[in-house]
Structure 1
Amino acid sequence: MSSPAASASGDGKKKAEQITFRFCSECSNMLYPKEDEAQRKLMYTCRTCNYSEEATSFCVYRNVLNNASGETAGVTQDVASDPTLPRAKQTCPACNHTESVFFQSQQRSAETGMKLFYVCCNSDCGNIFQ
């Protein structure tokens, strides 16, 4: 069972419903979701003054996971000075410096495989290449 707001687009993709905080109209404190067991309804209730209103949406929490991080996420120019990383005689395509450090792709999926990334050790460059 889906709500009209959840499937507003006709292409089969669900549009994420906006979740907002609700505040009491009497004392301005935050309203919290609570089930009215007698009427079997979702209500938003103030914990201070017991004000209550019926929920307009059944979604009270949504956790959105974003796993589209880049293969070289978190890599900075400081990586070149890290003594724990292995070094290679790989020429940088940007500045022709002949020393670089390398590491394996941090993205764990079948399509990335064993990709190696090189970071130029020239302090003025810091280019990341494969």
Structure 2
Amino acid sequence: MEFCPTCGSMLMIELPNMGHATRFYCTTCPYVCPIERGVKIKRKQILFRKGIDPVISSDDMKNAPTTEVPCPNCRHDKAAYKEVQTRSADEPATLFFKCLNVKCGHNWREG
């Protein structure tokens, strides 16, 4: 998508016609720009991944209430849970669980 350097409107494309090459033209002002065959990279942007912060930290689960729910990883029957409203108010809350088995410690969610 290209924009007019004069007025800022979005440029339209005009196919070859009556002796002129394919070109961009502005519908608002008289700006015309021929399209060259090669592709030019106008600006290079280095992209990097941001770190993802956990919704529930291990500190949140230390004093959390427990319930009898089987762990999907080790089938231990007790887990700590925390209820968090992650979506809009008219949607149900999300339950985050942490297995209380010392060897497992698996985290999962429902909802």
Q: Which one has a bigger Cα radius of gyration?
A: 2
Verify same fold: TM over 0.5.
Answer: no
TM-score, normalised with respect to structure 2: 0.41
